[in-house]
Structure 1
Amino acid sequence: MSVGDMYGFLHSGGAMTGKFSYEVAGQLKAYVYRLIDPRCGETFYVGKGRGDRVFQHALEACVPAEDEPGIMSPKLDRIREIRSANVSVEYVIHRHGMDDDTAYQVEAALIDAYPSLHNAVRGHHASIYGMATVEGLLQRYNLPQLALGQEHKLLAITINKLRGRRDHKVIFDLIRYCWPLRQKRAETVEYVLAVDRGVAVGVFKPLRWKPARAADFPDIANIEDEMDRLAFQGERAPQDIWDFYVGEHGKRISPIDLPPARQACRYINC
């Protein structure tokens, strides 16, 4: 199917063509959009874009699922289900006329507001500035600050599914399985730092990196093989390392030392 054919496939008939004119795109600037399932009225995806970005997901869904490069995409599966029902995705431009930084903030706030989204990430800066209770904010900003220096080669991984910071086994399971990393570089890491909303909550010593095969991690529940990703077998860092990076209840990391980013994994000093 050609690009032109795919654009036509978005909406046959009617005003929607899957492409904004140059004049309209210029007026929209950066915008935040929602994709809605017309069968139930549910918003299933929130995104930030410019130009024709709002329509790109429907184009991606034109690629058969078996041809996708090893990527599981509930978002694209939902779009295909909508098409199979002979209806079309509904598009809503939620806010427009913004600069990119403002649009990222609006996107992150909307992602927090819709609980059933198929977004792979929570939104720009959401790991630090996203939805939190007042109690949680008081606890976070009363924690001591961690100054990241040149002490060790680190891999900082932001974990978004954490509920509570006191169960080190839960933190360990989330941090070791599994991530889109290159093995050669991962093997240079001395310690893996678990980060939750800008707070270091755990630090672990990787002993072996390997493709993520569920059978090799029998003590982690509800995981599947993801052989294009890496996981590590390891152990909790020695107590002096733990005290330095985490302390008793966690340590805040300055956004200067670890700037907010959309990717979960970031190397430090390596």
Structure 2
Amino acid sequence: MPRFSEEVCERLGNYVYRLIDPRNGETFYVGKGRNNRVFDHAEGLPEILEDDSQTLGSKLDRIRAIRNAGLNVLHVIHRHEISDAAVFEVEAALIDAFPGLTNVQGGHASSDRGPMNHLELIDKYSLPTLPEPAHSLILININKLEDRSDRKAIYNLVRYCWRVSKERAEKAEYVVAVVRGVAIGAFRPLRWLPATPENFPDIPYSDGSEAHRVGFVGEEAPSDVWDMYVGARGKRITEPQLKHVQNPIRFWKCS
């Protein structure tokens, strides 16, 4: 695979790139880097993958499958000469534009400033604000929700499954479901359990690979608590430490 010369690397500066599967033309990863980072990722070099906190088996498996087919990973440098301050925003916008990526984390501030329709934007800036919590809370981001009025769907998405300490989670009185910076559901966890088929038989499973994560069995919060944190159509989260950037979990008064 070709490499950039030192002169080209110096001119490129920060850049954002896509990795593409030549078998179907599908973009499967978006990343940022400098120098020859794009080639190292496309080749699946172990030392690069080990240093990449966004990499899990799905990306490496895709690269191996491409190479086992006798092909090379394609790539596109989408934007270069990007300032340090802007590179995260450019990467995030590109991640938002390509669904189904193998990136483990979403783009920088995607949950707060990512793609929204006009109704979501109106809600984000005109709904009442979330008050100072009167309880210990876990706020969990569930941006894959399709219908904010479906309380059952909200519950099923927010309760399963998260990479969080079971002991710390058990300190929370309520779990608040968040979509694009708006609290849209509140639930009382009754039990936090390892995310196994035995503990969550109603969740579709392919294997028991989520056992290192946890979920909860619970119920809707009492009406007065729901009204406090959600209200009729949701409440905006304006407190900086409660906003979701990349980590989907935020704790409040759970230490």
TM range (shorter): 0.7 to 0.9
Corresponding residue number in structure 2 for 1:264: 248
Match of 1:73 among 57, 68, 72: 57
- Cα distance in 2, alignment partners of residues 140 and 233 from structure 1: 29
2:180 is aligned with 1:197: yes
Contact 2:243-2:250 within 8 A present in 1 as well: no
RMSD: 2.5
Q: Percent identical across equivalent pairs?
A: 50
Corresponding residue number in structure 2 for 1:164: 147
Corresponding residue number in structure 1 for 2:87: 103
Corresponding residue number in structure 1 for 2:198: 215
Output one character per residue of 1:49-70: Cα deviation in whole Å (capped at 9) or x when no partner.
345443454565759xxxxxxx
Output one character per residue of 1:1-58: Cα deviation in whole Å (capped at 9) or x when no partner.
xxxxxxxxxx3xxx23xxx666554443332110011223221111223454434545
Instruction: Look up the SS of the partner of 2:16 in the other structure.
Output: strand
Letter in 1 for 2:171: T
Instruction: Look up the SS of the partner of 2:152 in the other structure.
Output: helix
Count of matched residue positions in the alignment of Structure 1 and Structure 2: 246
Corresponding residue number in structure 2 for 1:37: 21
**CA displacement at 1:243 relative to structure 2:** 0.6
TM-score norm. by structure 2 comes to 0.85
- Change in CA separation of 1:131 and 1:167 when aligned onto 2, cut-off 3 Å: same
**CA displacement at 1:90 relative to structure 2:** 1.7
**CA displacement at 1:222 relative to structure 2:** 5.5
Matches within 5 A, 1:1-270: 11=1, 15-16=2-3, 24-58=8-42, 73-147=57-131, 149-221=132-204, 225=208, 226-254=210-238, 256-269=240-253, 270=255
**CA displacement at 1:72 relative to structure 2:** 5.8
Structure 2 unaligned regions, length at least 5: 48-54
TM-score norm. by structure 1 comes to 0.81
Letter in 2 for 1:201: I
Corresponding residue number in structure 2 for 1:3: none
Structure 1 unaligned regions, length at least 5: 1-10, 64-70
